[in-house]
Structure 1
Amino acid sequence: MEKLIKELRGLINFKKTIDMGDIILVAAKEPQMLMYGYVNNLKRDPTRKDEWYHLHFTILSIPPQKVTWTLRIPQMTGQEIFTMGGEERFVQPLDMGANVSATPTPQPEKKKTKGGLRRIK
């Protein structure tokens, strides 16, 4: 699992925090899978003494599936690999804005040609 996570971190920009509305990547060792989820809600579990939270998310599959996992913040922000049913799992939110350029990309000049068509250099 550690090798997979290292490879994923080289390909994907992740966030270090989690909020409602985030897209998360979920990885599982058995059954081996990678999937995306949408965070619907995040609520503290009042029945536990320690800081545990109910992570309500929708697995982005066909059909979409709503799921609730009870995790600690380090487990849902990629700081810890955890187990469910004895199998390793990994969850971390994606940084969807990391590849967005702060400055606009210059557009090529457009010139008119005969017949009303434009040629782009």
Structure 2
Amino acid sequence: MDLQPAKTEVRENDIVLVYVDEKPAFFARVEGFTADHKPKWWHVKLLMLTMPLRVVTWVLRLEQINGVEPFTMGGTPIRIEKVVAPPEQATPEDESETTPTQESAVENEKQQHAEPDDGSSKASILSLGSKKTD
């Protein structure tokens, strides 16, 4: 008995990676599914995340949509794989970070608006534009 690897079902708004000739070719967002007139076939609308963006509709079976079964287009092998974000891993830096309190935020605000220590309270303006000549 030939067992297929467990695949997660592709749904509307999922991001998929499309392989062409067994090489990653482009990402796409699944825009929707519409039943075809043939049983077990579906029109799958994909927004290709390329420049420029393109919308395509492919007629596929569920096994092809979910990446269990590759298919061909014009003799070229195509495979779809759902993109699943990896789980976030806590780092020692993340664990040591604390959320700023309201008191520390107020203190920081005061420091930013404090008067200069040199006694001069005059501000100067620095122009980044060109100098006007008369």
TM-score by length of 2: 0.60
The aligned amino acid for 1:86 is G
Provide the C-alpha distance between the structure 2 equivalents of 1:59 and 1:93, rounded to a whole number of angstroms: 14
The aligned amino acid for 1:42 is F
Report the Cα offset of residue 43 of structure 1. Answer: 1.3
The aligned amino acid for 2:67 is G
**3-state secondary structure, aligned to 2:64:** helix
Contact 1:15/1:95 (CA < 8 Å) preserved in 2? no
| 1:43 to 2:17 alignment | no
CA distances 1:33-88 after superposition (whole Å, capped 9, x unpaired): 5110011111111x11x300011011101110000000001101110111111110
Partner residue in 1 for 2:79: 90
Provide the C-alpha distance between the structure 2 equivalents of 1:100 and 1:73, rounded to a whole number of angstroms: 30
Note the aligned Cα RMSD (angstroms): 3.0
Q: Higher relative CO (CA 8 A, sep ≥ 6), structure 1 or 2? A: 1
Provide the C-alpha distance between the structure 2 equivalents of 1:107 and 1:68, rounded to a whole number of angstroms: 48
Provide the C-alpha distance between the structure 2 equivalents of 1:69 and 1:59, rounded to a whole number of angstroms: 12
The aligned amino acid for 2:31 is N
Q: Which one has the bigger strand percentage?
A: 1
The aligned amino acid for 1:59 is M
Work out the percentage of aligned pairs sharing the same amino acid: 28
TM-score by length of 1: 0.66
Deviating above 3 A after TM superposition, structure 1's stretches of 4 or more consecutive aligned residues are none
| Higher gyration radius (CA) | 2
Contact 2:7/2:68 (CA < 8 Å) preserved in 1? no
The answer for unaligned runs of 5 or more in structure 1 is 1-13
The answer for unaligned runs of 5 or more in structure 2 is 1-5, 105-110, 113-134
Aligned residues: 97
Report the Cα offset of residue 16 of structure 1. Answer: 1.3
Partner residue in 2 for 1:29: 21
Provide the C-alpha distance between the structure 2 equivalents of 1:39 and 1:15, rounded to a whole number of angstroms: 16
Note closer, same or farther for the CA distance 1:101–1:35 as it changes in structure 2 (3 Å cut).
same
